[in-house]
Amino acid sequence: MLGGFSLFLLLLFHADAIAMATIWWTSSTFSHCLVVPPILGWLVWQRRRELALLVPASSFWGLGIVGAGGLAWLLGDAASVSFGRQLGLVLMLQGGVVAFLGLSVARGLLFPLAYAFFLVPFGEQFVPALQGVTAELSMLLLGLSGVPAHIEGVFITTPAGYFEVAEACSGIKFLIAMIALGTLAANLCFRSWTRRIAFLAACVIVPIIANGIRAFGTIYIAEGAGIAFAESVDHVVYGWFFFALVIALVLALGWRFFDRSPEDRAFDPAAAQRWYRGKAQNRWVAAALAVALVVLPPLWMSATAAAGRAEIPALALPVIAGWQRSDTAMQYPWQARYAGADRIAAGRLSNTDGATVDLAVGFYADQRDGREVIGFGQGGLPPESDWSWVSDSRAVPSGRAYRITAPGPVVREVAQYAIVGGAITGSDSRAKLATMRVRLLGGDRRAVGIVISAEGDGARAAIDAFLADAGGIEQLVDRTPGLAD
């Protein structure tokens, strides 16, 4: 019954399972997830003798976990957040184990069940923070080594050149993999929870410090041997050997504190059997309820989607008094990105004072995976381009503003807005919550993204002048053909 329920889950939510596996296979950040399924199998096999002494019994407690997973999937689908759907799928699978095998068996499988959370790709949202930490550590070490340097955001300037602590240099790939490895080692090698927590803390702190040393080392080598040589050393020596040394260092530091023998039992079967002595529930009732809990969320989303479909209007740039279309060349090529939009209107506008802005409007009749107004690379900072984030700027009314830069350097100011459920916001979280509300409860499912950008020293003044002449962002929306009600 557990096997049948698990297969049913994977078939029902096959799109999420395939998306998750595709991330494992194609993203170097989560390639370590490929070894998690075999590790889970090995962890269960390691417990086979102890598990054979337990008596499986269906438990309605597992239905609570299945229901929590269904709710996580529902909220993730409503907000177009793939992490929520994938977490929900894993929770439903975990809940199935508890529902069909019972609490005693679940107690014996507690660590493998918890370790299954590493199947869910998660952590890339910490990249900006890690970039900042790496840059600050590099500056600290450069100062201690006597190398003059200036930092602006994640960009460091030294006599040797201009360096960027890019996303690939944040150390997130190694940090996530190190946490997964450290969690496994903490369970296998320690009994004391104090030692487990201390070891896991080392698995977080040491890689972050090591990545700062790596970035500093690259810049320091560039000072003496040139940027080209430093890049080759970074890719070959640091990329292949440095972090292997860090793994060995962390394990060596923890080795002398290991307090668990390889011969120790994974768990005490007698204690696990005593852990729950309640009456076993009817397996068929548990199965029927489990199936109902996993079927209801997609049925609900299908019903609300059918009721909220919107037409796709014609879309054009607004007419603002004093501003005309311009064909002047950009200092460095740039284009706002709204992947999957049903309609996009974009162009360059100038006024008689010489101020120039780039305006882009993306319209979505409905949002879903790969077609959402808020998401990675959506808006004014296109991914896989020469443009990089520098810092947040003074917020614009009802929106947010930030600076980006390209080689030169060329600096751009970007004002960005999202309109979901009729509300204008610059907050990604508010836009996601509004998306969730209309997709769950019904209503206007249309979403719009707006980017106003300008380059050079007077960039912010140009954006402010454009918004003032438009009468503010609300009036700008009303003046845009296709958006006005």
Q: How confident is the model at residue 239 (pLDDT cuts 50, 70, 90)?
A: low
Whether residues 300 and 348 share a domain: the answer is no
Which phi-psi region, left, alpha or beta, contains residue 338 (left: φ > 0; alpha: ψ -120 to 50)? Answer: beta
Residue 273 has pLDDT above 80, yes or no: no
Residue 50 lies in a domain: yes
pLDDT of residue 290: 94
Whether residues 337 and 419 share a domain: the answer is yes
Whether residues 169 and 302 share a domain: the answer is no
pLDDT of residue 222: 79
Whether residues 117 and 128 share a domain: the answer is no
154-157 contact pairs (CB < 8 A, 24+): 154/388, 154/389, 154/390, 155/388, 155/390, 155/405, 155/409, 156/219
Residue 72 lies in a domain: yes
Residues forming beta bridges with residue 449, ordered by sequence position: 362, 418
Residue 11 has pLDDT above 90, yes or no: yes
Residue pLDDT, tens place only, 176-231: 999 999 999 999 999 999 999 999 999 999 999 988 888 888 888 877 776 666 66
pLDDT of residue 236: 58
Residue 375 lies in a domain: yes
Residue 265 lies in a domain: no
246-272 mean pLDDT? 85
d(CA 463, CA 417): 13
Residue 317 three-state SS: coil
Annotate 280-312 with DSSP letters as a single string.
PPPHHHHHHHHHHHHHHHHHHHHHHHHH-----
Q: What percent of the chain has pLDDT over 70?
A: 94
Residue 185 lies in a domain: yes
Residue 280 has pLDDT above 80, yes or no: no
Whether residues 210 and 81 share a domain: the answer is no
37-54 mean pLDDT? 93
pLDDT of residue 111: 95
Residue 151 has pLDDT above 60, yes or no: yes
d(CA 244, CA 224): 26
pLDDT of residue 164: 77
Whether residues 361 and 436 share a domain: the answer is yes
**Which residue reads 């984030």 in tokens?**
389
Q: How confident is the model at residue 331 (pLDDT cuts 50, 70, 90)?
A: very high
Amino acid at 56: P
pLDDT of residue 155: 83
Whether residues 130 and 118 share a domain: the answer is no
Residue pLDDT, tens place only, 454-485: 998 899 999 999 999 999 999 999 988 888 65
pLDDT of residue 52: 92
pLDDT of residue 237: 63
> Residue 377 belongs to what domain range?
323-479
Average of per-residue pLDDT values in the chain: 88
d(CA 325, CA 59): 67
pTM of the model: 0.84
Query: Between residues 281 and 66, which one has the greater pLDDT?
Result: 66
Residue 171 lies in a domain: yes
Q: How confident is the model at residue 266 (pLDDT cuts 50, 70, 90)?
A: confident
pLDDT of residue 307: 61
Domain count, the chain: 3
User: How far lies 370's CA from each of 176, 364, 377, in Å?
Assistant: 24, 11, 11
Whether residues 70 and 155 share a domain: the answer is no
Residue 232 has pLDDT above 80, yes or no: no
pLDDT of residue 306: 66
**Which residue reads 């609900």 in tokens?**
300
Both tokens of residue 354? 């010489």
Annotate 218-266 with DSSP letters as a single string.
HHHHHHHH-HHHHHHHIIIIIIIIIHHHHHHHHHHHHHTT----TTS-S
Residue 318 lies in a domain: no
Whether residues 81 and 150 share a domain: the answer is no
Whether residues 239 and 292 share a domain: the answer is no
Q: Name the phi and psi angles at 53, rounded to 5.
A: -90, -5
Whether residues 349 and 282 share a domain: the answer is no
Residue 68 lies in a domain: yes
Amino acid at 304: T
Q: Name the phi and psi angles at 405, rounded to 5.
A: -140, 155
Whether residues 188 and 239 share a domain: the answer is yes
